[in-house]
Amino acid sequence: MSDPRTTPSIFTRGAVDLSALRAPAPSPAKTPAPAEGASRTADDSPSATIPGGLPGGVGPETIIDVTEANFQTTVLERSLSTPVILDFWADWCEPCKQLSPILERLAQAGGGSWVLGKVDVDANPRLAQALRVQGIPMVVAVVNGQLVEGFTGVLPESQVKQYVDAVLKAGGVAVEAPEDPRLDAADDALMVGDLDEAEAAYRKILAEHPADAAAESGLAQVELYRRISGADPTTAVAKADASPDDIDAQRLAADVEVLSGEADKAYARLVALVKRTAGDEREAVRKHLLSLFSVAGPDDPAVAGARRALASALF
């Protein structure tokens, strides 16, 4: 998913013309819909599941009906204070009946931190056209008046939750990192030195969630501990200092420095080595440095600086 903060505002977005939706549009005769912006009840929902808000209208709205007539107030204006995630659906859409309950559960669990807007594409064709709905179910979001890229089709609840969390973060809402017992078990194995068990656990997490930064860091630590197994730290650093062009010695010294809390020295050591090498040797050093970045994680400020130094050394 692209960075939501770089998406143009849909108030001015030329490719998505919503101006016609700002005035009330005539609706076909049908059973009266809930009041504009009103929370849904279980019977209102296409999947007939979760009520929006607490009984008797008490509590924050979590699920609302969105129409061409109320889009301005229930989505655009509301999004300036609360992220709105739109679910485009239709009665005849079987996949919609799988995705909608997931979104509704998450909306209710969110307690008003975001709002789920239900859009019936058959009843609101101009809205579906304006937002380029080519297939349903389709999910997009609006945050601070900006359209956030979404997805089409049915996803597992865990992936839908990841999307919701990304939308909340884009809206400045703090998202608590979920506890993962598998990650705790992997970390415990690493702490007691059971590297095989830790590796297996981290790889299992990454097989299901390839972008899990914590698991990537854990796996990189396993590899790091294996590389320094049996090495004497003082001797390793002394040998590297005496042989600046010995690639194996330099990489081992960098490993030792990272584990000694001197990551800055390790990064500088390997960046300098990148500058002095070429071809396959340079590539080996670069990959080793990237593995050390993974140990620290992407948010470490020292990593950010070292990445810039590496880029300068390479280009």
Residues identified as active-site: 93, 96
Helix runs in the chain, H state only: 71, 94-109, 125-130, 157-170, 181-191, 195-208, 213-228, 233-242, 247-259, 263-276, 279-296, 301-314
**What is the gyration radius of the CA atoms in the chain, in angstroms?**
26
Handedness of CA 101, 105, 110, 112 (dihedral sign): positive
Q: Structure tokens of 300?
A: 């470490």
Is the separation of the CB atoms in 263 and 302 below 8 Å? yes
| Contacts of 218 by beta carbon, 8 Å cutoff, 6+ apart | 183, 186, 187, 190, 198, 202
Q: What is the Cα–Cα distance from 208 to 25, expressed in whole angstroms?
A: 45
CB 76 within 8 Å of CB 66: no
DSSP string of 157-177, one letter each residue: HHHHHHHHHHHHHHTT---PP
Tell the residue number behind the tokens 């990445």, with chain if given.
Answer: 307
Handedness of CA 212, 213, 214, 218 (dihedral sign): positive
Q: CA–CA separation, 287 vs 245, rounded Å? A: 17
